[in-house]
Structure 1
């Protein structure tokens, strides 16, 4: 009487999902996404530090102008201009931060998509049945 094969095929959705690599080692595949996160985090930090330095320099200049102002109308005009410029600067900075986040999201999406396409091309592995 012929014996049944005790091996079975893997399901269509693998346990490790998009993290399998050419070597079928999920740990190497999973490192790409956190690497992009760390790189993006550092880009955010650099951008924020540059922005803070520039804003602080403008704040100091404004305080110096305010100290040297003699007329009340100049103070009100100076405050209005300062807040308008600050609002513009913060708006521009928000756009920069959004751009950094969008680029990271696109890179991670492409990594996951590439890993998924790579997995589709691999033949299904056989898993030995439990004893």
Structure 2
């Protein structure tokens, strides 16, 4: 009898979470976080504004760790996050910190949209 290859066993052999019961958008964010953790990035250092493949993984992770976000997760989602050393936040985020994050996001978006290039040849 021949040994079974990964392709013969199906997608589960490559990624056991290939067809989760939760939204694919959540899985996409988690996969980016998991990839970053594999590259030795501490999840605690993945802050809002940390993007990977165009996805703000830091902002997403912060929302997952908040008490309301963590409580809304399915058991399997919590297990996924715990597998990459992520736990719920036990301290409430202060209004000051939320304000700083909001200012950073606003300024970052404004800076990104304000960048323009002058055409040196036409005026």
Same fold (TM over 0.5): no
Give 1 or 2: higher helix fraction: 1
TM-score (norm 2): 0.30
Structure with the greater alpha carbon radius of gyration: 1
TM-score (norm 1): 0.28
